Amino acid sequence: MISERKIWKEKFGEWFRKVIAEAGILDYRYPIKGCGVWLPYGFKLRRNILGIIRKLLDESGHEEMLFPLLIPEDLFARESMHIKGFEEEAYWVTHGGSTKLSVKMALRPTSETVITPMAKLWIRSHADLPLKIYQIASIFRYETKATKPLIRVREVTTFKEAHTFHASHEDALKQVREAIKIYKKFFDEIGIPYIVSQRPEWDKFAGAVSSYAFDTVLPDGRTLQIGTVHDLGQSFAKAFDLTFETTIGGREHVWQTSYGISERGIAAVLILHGDDHGLVLPPNIAPIQVIIIPIPYKDMEELVNEAGKKVENELKEGGVRVKLDVRSDITPGSKFYEWEMRGVPLRIEVGPRDIKERKVTFVRRDNFEKLSCEESELVEKTKSLLADTRENLRKRAGEWLNLHICKAKSLDEAKKLIDSDFGIVQVPWCGKKECGLEIERGVNARVLGVPSAKEKVAGNCVVCSQKGEFLVRLAQAY
Amino acid sequence: MISERKIWKEKFGEWFRKVIAEAGILDYRYPIKGCGVWLPYGFKLRRNILGIIRKLLDESGHEEMLFPLLIPEDLFARESMHIKGFEEEAYWVTHGGSTKLSVKMALRPTSETVITPMAKLWIRSHADLPLKIYQIASIFRYETKATKPLIRVREVTTFKEAHTFHASHEDALKQVREAIKIYKKFFDEIGIPYIVSQRPEWDKFAGAVSSYAFDTVLPDGRTLQIGTVHDLGQSFAKAFDLTFETTIGGREHVWQTSYGISERGIAAVLILHGDDHGLVLPPNIAPIQVIIIPIPYKDMEELVNEAGKKVENELKEGGVRVKLDVRSDITPGSKFYEWEMRGVPLRIEVGPRDIKERKVTFVRRDNFEKLSCEESELVEKTKSLLADTRENLRKRAGEWLNLHICKAKSLDEAKKLIDSDFGIVQVPWCGKKECGLEIERGVNARVLGVPSAKEKVAGNCVVCSQKGEFLVRLAQAY
């Protein structure tokens, strides 16, 4: 499978820009760099993907809410590490009309400093804990690096951030594990492979005790962080003096976590499943699952359109998201091109022979396999092909990631692999910060972090040669 | 019905602030004035209401999209009337981190100047028209007047704005009529009565040729604008040079409309259906349609809870949004109070006698009527009571509005009525601007506008005594 996507891999940046525009996902020609417009087809895909994460969060006891965008400077600056990490990334509102505001306000780059002071109004005792909430909203980051559609933008239009509050560190850590589990389910649902790493001390979320991240590998060998989970300890609770009455009557600071995913998850779907012909959308999130294209022969236009209509109705009744393309001003070939570009997982062609033989002809988008079935098996066959497509996409994306994670024994070897755009390279590391930074410098790449504790392995640190406690993951990262 | 809500009417401002907080709709204690937090229950209500408008727009050929929040100053200032109307209302982003931006950016107060330049990239010829799109997003207004929950806020979190593009003024005017029809359906669905007026020349949307508005009357006699529809003519098309190739090959500027509703529609639902006990939510948008409260007697707690569970399951299977309140630490009376406050349209009480007699006891939220039915009729009876409740709410809100619209023959009479918080007062008007402004000054109220053309009536203008062409509507307006 992978080899078929070779051309696409080599020029993937160009491919991505072209495809999201041509497929009607986003238009980035808005005059502010890093701000795009969700087009109708893209908006529907986004809605379907958000439906999956909403369901997972609702089912696990999270409540959806909506918080203000603007953060007064004094609130935003309350937690010292947080403001240090975010102050150069925030956009500032300084004027209302021509009036200078007495307190300037940041556009939220994340909402810890919005939500913690509100939680302080809601949490009084242990009986109010745990509190698990989330919102889906736009966040803003003043990006000075080159922007890239959905990956490095200034308005992140699709940020899902969850915030939880707990009576003990233990309970918060349990929540961190639940969050990782929820995100695993989410990425599995949309067929995106991932590796979960605990980020190194020097690359944690600003204000966190520890940060865990989901990374995947893009066709150019660079990793994309697609989700993060943070144990916030009591940092924000202390900064905002958020306390609760314990079961024995004292007061203690609340323990917090936060975890977020963004439109980078959508980018991963578009990029990792796509091919030279355009997008290939997993059927469970595709706005259109089946496109029906009548193949007209002279004097038979009406007949094939009617047969197409019949197929459409039957699939609709079967609960399939289906569209019949009856445009008469373009050829079936052009329609093939357009719907392949847009990633519709299954095409049905309806021609005179199909009608005569009472057959249905399918073409799968993922592997272009042509198949047919009896008319009577239409709905059943469609569903099984959609299920197969989904599984195949998940599998081939998973294989892609596996092929791009390896181990190296020395810094030199690691550097060579990373320079050749291999993907994620792992080397033994003693766990000390100075060696970690030395590794980063040595390979000119980023330390993604280490696997969870139980995967600890032996090996000599590539810097200090002491016994390594971890295999640390390195990559060129977006 | 109305008289039962007397106390509530007299102190409605206070009532509103208390109820939205206690009922778990919004929390306005955020440190920026006019910015609130949607709480879980309120968020679900908002989602249900948005579901109705989305359906109406999708079914009438509108496509949902999402546009950037930030507007570069030069774009925002392109249409001269528009910037004149909005420049003092806009929040300005001037810095990214500590860097001063070369072009300052407004937070959208509305999106004509965001969408028109994008439409210019999409529209080439008459074949691309009409184009009908919408988005649901936050908008920002630098309000200097006193803020009021959902009614006068700085972050309008729930703004639905539609924008349409047409090949002729005639087609745009047809769209204005369709938009009015869609909004009528929407407000009918949520049981909110309205009066539609064409706003006077001096109170149009900044940049519009003409503006139509939906107003309703609040308990304090003041009107609330809950929806607007604008014929934008070619104002924005000319400012942005948005043209299309006509059928005969020439180029012409596109004709536009825009129409919006906001969270003021939600405010109207909360205020107009509410009573002294709190909210009364129309069943079709209520997050919880039926609350089941077990009435425990000594040693029968388990029995009533089990019977409640049975009722809950049956209603769930019947497609009813139902909740069983089994909390054991509070009394049934406290539960009644809480769910009445939250506006759940129907209560089912399950006690030993109901179980014994195989009956179900209902209490309606809208009129506190107590009813019962056989166990076997549960689902059917519930649905018919919910339907009755919905119809009753719609009807009584409609009666309220009708009782607060009247005619006056002179400015004096009009002023007296308006000063007594009557509601909307209509007087004959010749149609000339100077007389209109004189009327506004004379009654110290706002001219809402005139009915649509076919309702024109005769009468002598209350200012110049010339034959009046219209009955003009006056009110204290929010």
Sequential DSSP letters for B427-461: EEE---HHHHHHHHHHHTSEEEEB--GGG----B-
| Predicted structure pTM score | 0.96
Q: Is B214 left (phi over 0), alpha (psi -120 to 50) or beta?
A: beta
Interatomic CA distance for residues B225 and B318, integer angstroms: 38
Contacts of B177 (CB under 8 A, 6+ apart): none
- Cβ contact, residue pair B138, A69, below 8 Å: yes
Nearest to B37 among A37, A65, A75 (CB): A65
- Tally A–B CB contacts below 8 A: 136
Interatomic CA distance for residues A189 and B439, integer angstroms: 63
Nearest to A92 among B29, B88, B93 (CB): B93
- Cβ contact, residue pair A64, B40, below 8 Å: yes
Contacts of B442 (CB under 8 A, 6+ apart): B411, B414, B415, B462, B463
Bridge partners, residue A290, by sequence? A322, A346
Q: What is the CA radius of gyration of chain A?
A: 25
Nearest to B95 among A63, A70, A92 (CB): A92
Residues in A closer than 8 angstroms to B92, CB to CB, are 93-96
Instruction: Specify the pLDDT at position A2.
Output: 46
Tell me the CA distances in angstroms from A247 to A25, A128, A168, A255, one per residue in order. 52, 12, 12, 15
CA distance A378 to chain B (A): 28
164-223 in chain A: CB under 8 A from chain B: none
Residues in B closer than 8 angstroms to A92, CB to CB, are 93-96
- Under-50 pLDDT residues of chain A: 1-3
Closest-CA residue of A relative to B118 is: A30
- Cβ contact, residue pair B65, A39, below 8 Å: yes
Interatomic CA distance for residues B158 and A131, integer angstroms: 25
Bridge partners, residue A473, by sequence? A426, A449
* Interchain CB contact of B128 with A (< 8 Å): no
- Cβ contact, residue pair B69, A121, below 8 Å: no
- Cβ contact, residue pair B64, A40, below 8 Å: yes
CA distance B441 to chain A (A): 27
User: For residues B109 and B139, is the Cβ–Cβ distance under 8 A?
Assistant: yes
Residue among A25, A29, A35, A74 with most chain B CBs within 10 A, to mutate: A35
* Interchain CB contact of B51 with A (< 8 Å): no
- Cβ contact, residue pair A72, B35, below 8 Å: no
Residue among B91, B103, B133 with most chain A CBs within 10 A, to mutate: B91
Q: Residue B323: exposed, middle, or buried by beta-carbon count in 10 A (0-12, 13-18, 19+)?
A: middle
Q: What are phi and psi of B103, to 5 degrees?
A: -125, 120
The complex's ipTM? 0.96
417-476 in chain B: CB under 8 A from chain A: none
Tell me the CA distances in angstroms from B74 to A290, A299, A427, B68, B104, one per residue in order. 44, 56, 52, 15, 9
Q: What are phi and psi of B364, to 5 degrees?
A: -75, 140
Q: Residue B444: exposed, middle, or buried by beta-carbon count in 10 A (0-12, 13-18, 19+)?
A: exposed
Interatomic CA distance for residues A164 and A130, integer angstroms: 7
DSSP B376: G
Q: Mind spelling out the 3-state secondary structure of chain A?
A: CHHHHHHHHHCHHHHHHHHHHHCCCEECCCCCCCCCEECHHHHHHHHHHHHHHHHHHHHCCCEECECCCEEEHHHHCCCHHHHHHHHHHCEEEEEECCEEEEEEEEECCCCHHHHHHHHHHHCCEHHHCCEEEEEEEEEECCCCCCCECCCECCEEEEEEEEEEEECCHHHHHHHHHHHHHHHHHHHHHCCCCCEEEECCHHHCCCCCCEEEEEEEECCCCCEEEEEEEEEEECHHHHHCCCEEECCCCCEEECEEEEEEECCHHHHHHHHHHCECCECCCCCCCCCCCEEEEECCCCCCHHHHHHHHHHHHHHHHHCCCCEEECCCCCCCHHHHHHHHHHCCCCEEEEECHHHHHHCEEEEEECCCCCEEEEEHHHHHHHHHHHHHHHHHHHHHHHHHHHHCCEEECCCHHHHHHHHHCCCCEEEEEECCCHHHHHHHHHHHCCEEEEECCHHHCCCCECCCCCCECCEEEEEECEC
What is the tens place of the pLDDT at every residue in A367-422? 999 999 999 999 999 999 999 999 999 999 999 999 999 999 999 999 999 999 99
Residue among A65, A88, A111 with most chain B CBs within 10 A, to mutate: A65
Q: In what order do the strands lie in the sheet with A210-217?
A: A63-64, A131-140, A155-166, A255-261, A223-233, A210-217, A195-198
What is the tens place of the pLDDT at every residue in A75-106? 999 999 999 999 899 999 999 999 999 999 99
Q: Looking at this protein, which amino acid is placed at residue B17? A: R
pLDDT in tens, chain B (478 residues): 444 555 566 688 899 999 999 999 999 999 999 999 999 999 999 999 999 999 999 999 999 999 999 999 999 999 999 999 998 999 999 999 999 999 999 999 999 999 999 999 999 999 999 999 999 999 999 999 999 999 999 999 999 999 999 999 999 999 999 999 999 999 999 999 999 999 999 999 999 999 999 999 999 999 999 999 999 999 999 999 999 999 999 999 999 999 999 999 999 999 999 999 999 999 999 999 999 999 988 888 899 999 999 999 999 999 999 999 999 999 999 999 999 999 999 999 999 999 999 999 999 999 999 999 999 999 999 999 999 999 999 999 999 999 999 999 999 999 999 999 999 999 999 989 999 999 999 999 999 999 876 566 668 899 999 887 788 999 999 9
